[in-house]
Amino acid sequence: MHQFTIGVEEEYQIIDAETRDLVSHVSKIIEGGKATLHENLKHEMHESVIEMETGICQNIAGVRAELEDLRKRLIKVAHENDLRVSGGGTHPFSNWKDNHITKDVRYDKIISDLGDAARSNLIFGLHVHIGIPNREEGVRIQNVMRYFLPHIYALSTNSPFWVGRNTGFKSYRQEVFAKFPRTGIPSYFSCAAEFDAYIDLMIRTGTIDNAKKIWWDLRVHPFYPTIEFRICDMPLRIDETVCLAAIMQSLVAKIYKLHEQNMSFRSYRRLLLNENKWRASKDGIHAHLIDFGKETSVPYVDLLKELLEFIDDVVDDLDCRSELEYAWEIMKNGTGADRQLRILEETGDLKAVVDYMISETEYGITYE
């Protein structure tokens, strides 16, 4: 069996310990973490965002161990600088206009190209890389995986607020990001050559200067031998990140196994898949998604059961059954969005929501 390695990138909010607002202090975190986190921390476009990356992990147990270690160190550095870090796809009340852009040639170019669409893109995501055998197989997996993106996304929904407003969405982050070009669920590509020809055309026409400016929800990575999931909101608890990564790894392994057996999975047009993505964005795990085979809307829980049954025969080989089972904890307790909304309902205070987000991000972590 091919080894479906895993790499995780988490984007954290940098929060002032007193005001609970976002603060543009990424340099303090980077500087404070130099000794122990130098290779794992990165700037993002806004100075109130810090990206933390794992190395290449061989299995889901390795992902959990590395995330726990890195998060512990990150939280410690934040506390030492009178800051906090938090998960969540958006900050509940911070305004993008008050947050500084990182000084960098790359970000200057994006701002020049996209203006306020880029300046207002103050959002936080979870990106997961799964190792693939080769690019040709990667494109085949990408084609099939598009169907499952709304299912994964619904479990991750964690951005109900935007600039102090209850948006009515479980994931408003995707609505913010949709202002960018080349986002959303990718089109179907018949082969890697067709995919590469598209990227080549974009570069030759000056539309993009490199393939990393393809910002789809899922992409065969232009430089690494991975397929990268980009659709998820940044979760709160480590358990949630690990669960989502386990589902992604298992789906990649299952689809590859089908292809090895000369079997496949029915392909659906992007305009249909977008309907399910919209429903997941709006209502998360409480959505009714379209079952395209039955041509009817069904509760999300039914499709989650089907998904877990679909991947069941690869789960034990990957040794990630307990991590996958956490999906039922999410169904029972709600996604991060459900829990944030619950706190607002109980307190009427968005600062209390931020307090909750910070405490959930630190859940189970001893950082002294």
Q: How far apart are CA 120 and CA 122, in angstroms?
A: 6
Contact residues for 157 (Cβ-Cβ < 8 A; gap 6+):
89, 170, 171, 233, 280, 281, 284, 285, 335, 336, 337, 338
pLDDT the model gives residue 367: 65
pLDDT the model gives residue 45: 79
Q: How far apart are CA 218 and CA 59, in angstroms?
A: 21
Task: For residue 14, give the H/E element and its range.
Answer: strand 6-16
Written as one letter, the residue type at 137 is E
Written as one letter, the residue type at 172 is Y
Task: For residue 216, give the H/E element and its range.
Answer: strand 215-216
pLDDT the model gives residue 86: 97
| Stated pTM of the model | 0.95
Query: Residue 45 class from Cβ within 10 Å (0-12 exposed, 13-18 middle, 19+ buried)?
Result: middle
The predicted-structure confidence for 155-177, as pLDDT tens digits, reads as follows: 999 999 999 999 999 999 999 99
Pairing, β 83-86 against β 6-16: antiparallel
DSSP 101: B
Where do the domains of the chain lie, and which CATH numbers do they carry?
Answer: 6-361 (3.30.590.20)
pLDDT the model gives residue 368: 63
pLDDT the model gives residue 39: 77
Contact residues for 305 (Cβ-Cβ < 8 A; gap 6+):
none
With a cut of 50, list the residues of the chain below it in pLDDT.
none
pLDDT the model gives residue 1: 57
Q: How far apart are CA 357 and CA 288, in angstroms?
A: 27
